[in-house]
Structure 1
Amino acid sequence: MSQTIAPDSAPSTTASADPKRDAYWMPFTANRQFKKSPRLLTSADGMYFTDDKGRQVLDGIAGLWCVNAGHNRPRIVEAIQKQAAELDFAPPFQMAHPKAFELAERLVELTPAGLNKAFFTNSGSESVETALKMALAYHRVRGEGSRTRLIGRERGYHGVNFGGISVGGMVANRKMFGTLLSGVDHLRHTHDPARNAYAMGQPLHGAELADDLERMVALHDASTIAAVIVEPIAGSTGVLIPPQGYLQRLREICDKHGILLIFDEVITGFGRTGQPFGAQTFGVTPDLMTVAKGLTNGAVPMGAVFAKQSIYDTFMQGPEHLIEFFHGYTYSAHPLACAAALGTLDTYAEEGLLTRAAEMQTYFAEALHSLKGAPHVIDIRNLGLVGGVELAPLPGEPAKRAFSIFLDCWEQGVLIRTTGDTIAFSPPLIIEKHHIDRLIDTVRGALQRAA
């Protein structure tokens, strides 16, 4: 009699140098390559990680766009430790704890005027899902339930939940997962190297790309469109800086047609662009704004959505004992996350970190653009303390060249990030000039060795 082997009893085919590492399926990682040559971090402090061999590794990406204040900051550590001993969990449905309200008040003091309601989540992906649901529900509550269409942008990244990858526009994140949400369309991306290569700060050309939204209104009718979601700076796709006037034009079109504008500030929030939020740097206020990452300095998972008062007020109707918005998470406003966030805000305030990128951006930009002319470099983009260096791909092997630079830099004790064939930089906001010099010189050497 034939016997079928169940999937969970099939032998492992993973080529791993250490079977103790075989059980962990790593996210957004080349698992087979990693497990043959692991890169393990064991501690961190300030601008540096320490690996399992005792080497110090300069952090050129703030962990993963999130450790904006640097690692192992005393106020954050102490806040988490104290909170864990005092209140480990409080149910967020029909209950709360004081730090949730304290944190919300502290945050809306930093947001653009009008974004004065905070809804807490546990990640950037959850923040995006929450904002999309808020937008859809808002229109329905106000009697425009036909507004169900969501507009994203090509090359956009909005997390990895179904709503986020539906409005997102990075093909590798979408292609495996079926038809995704229906009723979604996408604006063109703003990457235009033919006109904007090597721009310092906002490129001059491309504001007219926002008029794609008018084309979609003509195609679908404004009465069917709920919201447009964009990143002020498209980070994960390779650091695409918005052209001058682009975000302003999007705001104007949304206002004209009654469409909500959502900014995904998971990467640009909390000082990355030289102001607390990208919305302030670019002078455009959205209707909803998503954050995470720098909210807690990466110490405890947490996200949030900021909403305008008018959106909140729209939901506040009907009998007072009934739930107004059927959405939330078990760990919304988790006590440890709130404590970490409050410690993070204290650290930002005491050290002026939410505006420090504005002070460092000229030195950072000049260092970054000194890579122009280095082997394989075809474009450089920057704003605040975020930068991208785009490389010519190896023929028929996309992303391989940049990944080889990543590995080379790791061997030299510097951590960078690559997305496709772009090297992305987003160092902690505490970075000093000598750190910038080492970061760029290490990349330069890796590029020369790859020539």
Structure 2
Amino acid sequence: MTTTPIDTSAATFDSEKLSAAAREHLWMHFTRMSAYQDAPVPTIVRGEGARIFDSFGRSYIDGLSGLFVVQVGHGRQELAEAAYRQASELAFFPLWSYAHPQAIELADRLADLAPGDLNKVFFTTGGGEAVETAWKAAKQYFKLVGKPMKHKVISRSIAYHGTPQGALSITGIPDAKKWFEPLVPGAHKAANTNFYRAPEHGDDIEAFGRWAADDIGRAIEMEGPDTVAAVFVEPVQNSGGCFPPPPGYFQRLREICDRHDVLLVSDEVICAFGRLGTTFACDKFGYVPDIITCAKGMTSGYSPIGAAIVSDRVAEPFYSGSDYFPHGYTFGGHPVSAAVAMANLDIFDREGLNQHVLQNEPAFRATLDKLRDLPIVGDVRGDGYFYGIELVKDKTTKETFDDDESERLLRGFLSKALFEAGLYCRADDRGDPVVQLAPPLIVGQSEFDEIEQILRSVLTEAWSRL
């Protein structure tokens, strides 16, 4: 598939000056800043299609779509032009008691694309804010319908749901939370769907899926159904390395939530907008949640936006009498971002990107599955254009690396080696060590092969070093 690139070829960069300024003034996110005390800061200056370019002019395949974001690829002129046109007409106006056409049109389009009666769209500026919004909406909803004790949330172990205090409480990664406690109370954890390390029913994926869903039911019952407001789950869990749902998992989870009058929140910040081959990932797995949280791919990253898409049933009490939702963000539903989102969705429709992912996901999986012959590769899992490769010390026993080995493997070698070999992706140890891949949705077999060849070379060297 082709893109129309933005011409930045004339731009020149003083790499040493940029790196020095970055070390002195730019506090990067989730980054060990000490790592660049005596090393240059990798600086990406341009993107075109599925490739990115650094300040030295070196090219890399973007195997992570930035951060699970750039669905339509880099350098789309029409998205830049959509932002320019909107900024020239109405650069900003808030959604606090007023509307603007771009937010109205985008909300209408998202409601039409969402399943069931999910027809109310509350805009944010990103995914963590969308999760925060969903929890607050769930708590207030139950107060408005006369069940004020229902305020707790159940989410899954190792799951990542964002960095705001509420979203971080829902997150299931201890190391992400330990410095910021005490967090918002009421967030509790249950089993995830990592079948590779299933503690129960490791020989029967459907039985394991039922057990994992029932574990969420057990957590609800343990806390008391009259105190639990919502269950937050990703369609394919990102953190830990792309855990897909077993067959029947979400149908069972929907039954559990309905039985206990608990809202089911589908956190699709990563999985929505084509990552799995459907606009909303819940459609792929056949369930209708009460709230969808989304962001990233809505604009393919060309401008920030997020949303909580809420069912009519949950929104109804907020639309009655003097009741309202005392919550919002200055830049939520920003006119420029909304205009870019509309243009981005136009590209999806015109180029059939969802269909492209569905048609090519078997080839992507088959190409990555070739890596299973390497002694360091324990599992390859995921869905659509979203995969994790779990690394192990022993394939037979599934023995993982200890903390020191993981530190030397991931941060000491893999991340840098993969980048230097021409692949930008994620080597992650939030859970067992994995390499994560989520390329732009425009890629095909040639990019799959390039990714596999780079991974094969670098993982082979990693094993020899071990």
Deviation at 1:236, TM superposition (A): 2.9
Quote the residue 2:453 is aligned against.
441
Deviation at 1:315, TM superposition (A): 1.3
Q: Alignment partner for residue 410 of structure 2, among 402, 412, 424?
A: 402
Quote the residue 2:324 is aligned against.
324
Distance 2:66 2:165 in 1: 25
One-letter code aligned to 1:400: R
Quote the residue 2:23 is aligned against.
21
Are residue 417 (structure 1) and residue 420 (structure 2) matched?
no
Q: Alignment partner for residue 259 of structure 1, among 258, 262, 266?
A: 262
The structure-2 alpha-carbon separation of the partners of 1:204 and 1:271, relative to structure 1 and needing over 3 Å to count, comes to farther
Quote the residue 1:121 is aligned against.
124
Are residue 363 (structure 1) and residue 339 (structure 2) matched?
no
**Mapping of residues 33-432 of structure 1, within 5 Å:** 33-35=35-37, 36-194=39-197, 205-319=208-322, 324-392=324-392, 394-397=401-404, 398-403=406-411, 404-420=413-429, 421-432=433-444
- Secondary structure in structure 1 of the residue aligned to 2:113: coil
The structure-2 alpha-carbon separation of the partners of 1:18 and 1:428, relative to structure 1 and needing over 3 Å to count, comes to same
Deviation at 1:20, TM superposition (A): 5.4
Distance 1:159 1:337 in 2: 20
Deviation at 1:70, TM superposition (A): 0.6
Which ranges in structure 2 are unaligned for 5 or more consecutive residues? 1-17, 393-399
- Secondary structure in structure 2 of the residue aligned to 1:185: strand
What are the Cα deviations for residues 250-279 of structure 1, in whole angstroms up to 9, with x where unaligned? Answer: 110000111000010001000111111110
Deviation at 1:167, TM superposition (A): 1.1
Distance 2:131 2:21 in 1: 37
Which stretch of structure 1 is more off in the superposition, 203-212 or 272-281? 203-212
CA contact (8 A) 2:23 2:36 kept: no
- Secondary structure in structure 1 of the residue aligned to 2:372: coil
Percent identity at matched positions?
36
CA contact (8 A) 1:265 1:291 kept: yes
Deviation at 1:21, TM superposition (A): 2.5
CA contact (8 A) 1:394 1:400 kept: no
- Secondary structure in structure 1 of the residue aligned to 2:373: coil
Deviation at 1:348, TM superposition (A): 0.8
Distance 2:206 2:301 in 1: 31
What are the Cα deviations for residues 123-161 of structure 1, in whole angstroms up to 9, with x where unaligned? Answer: 000000000001001000111111111111111110111
The structure-2 alpha-carbon separation of the partners of 1:129 and 1:396, relative to structure 1 and needing over 3 Å to count, comes to closer
Distance 2:206 2:221 in 1: 28
The structure-2 alpha-carbon separation of the partners of 1:176 and 1:251, relative to structure 1 and needing over 3 Å to count, comes to same
- Secondary structure in structure 2 of the residue aligned to 1:405: helix
Distance 1:213 1:18 in 2: 49
The structure-2 alpha-carbon separation of the partners of 1:248 and 1:43, relative to structure 1 and needing over 3 Å to count, comes to same
Distance 1:109 1:352 in 2: 18
Distance 1:276 1:17 in 2: 38
CA contact (8 A) 1:126 1:303 kept: yes
Distance 1:57 1:183 in 2: 43
CA contact (8 A) 1:204 1:244 kept: no
What are the Cα deviations for residues 359-416 of structure 1, in whole angstroms up to 9, with x where unaligned? Answer: 1111000011111021411111121111100112544423431342221121122111
The structure-2 alpha-carbon separation of the partners of 1:298 and 1:143, relative to structure 1 and needing over 3 Å to count, comes to same
Distance 2:410 2:371 in 1: 14
- Secondary structure in structure 2 of the residue aligned to 1:273: coil
CA contact (8 A) 1:391 1:402 kept: no
Across the aligned residues of Structure 1 and Structure 2, the Cα RMSD in angstroms comes to: 1.9
- Secondary structure in structure 2 of the residue aligned to 1:32: helix
Point out 4+ residue stretches in structure 1 off by more than 6 angstroms: none
Quote the residue 1:30 is aligned against.
32
So what's the TM-score if we normalise by structure 2?
0.88
Deviation at 1:429, TM superposition (A): 0.4
Deviation at 1:219, TM superposition (A): 2.0
- Secondary structure in structure 1 of the residue aligned to 2:208: coil
- Secondary structure in structure 2 of the residue aligned to 1:189: coil
- Secondary structure in structure 1 of the residue aligned to 2:330: coil
- Size of the aligned set, in residue pairs, is 429
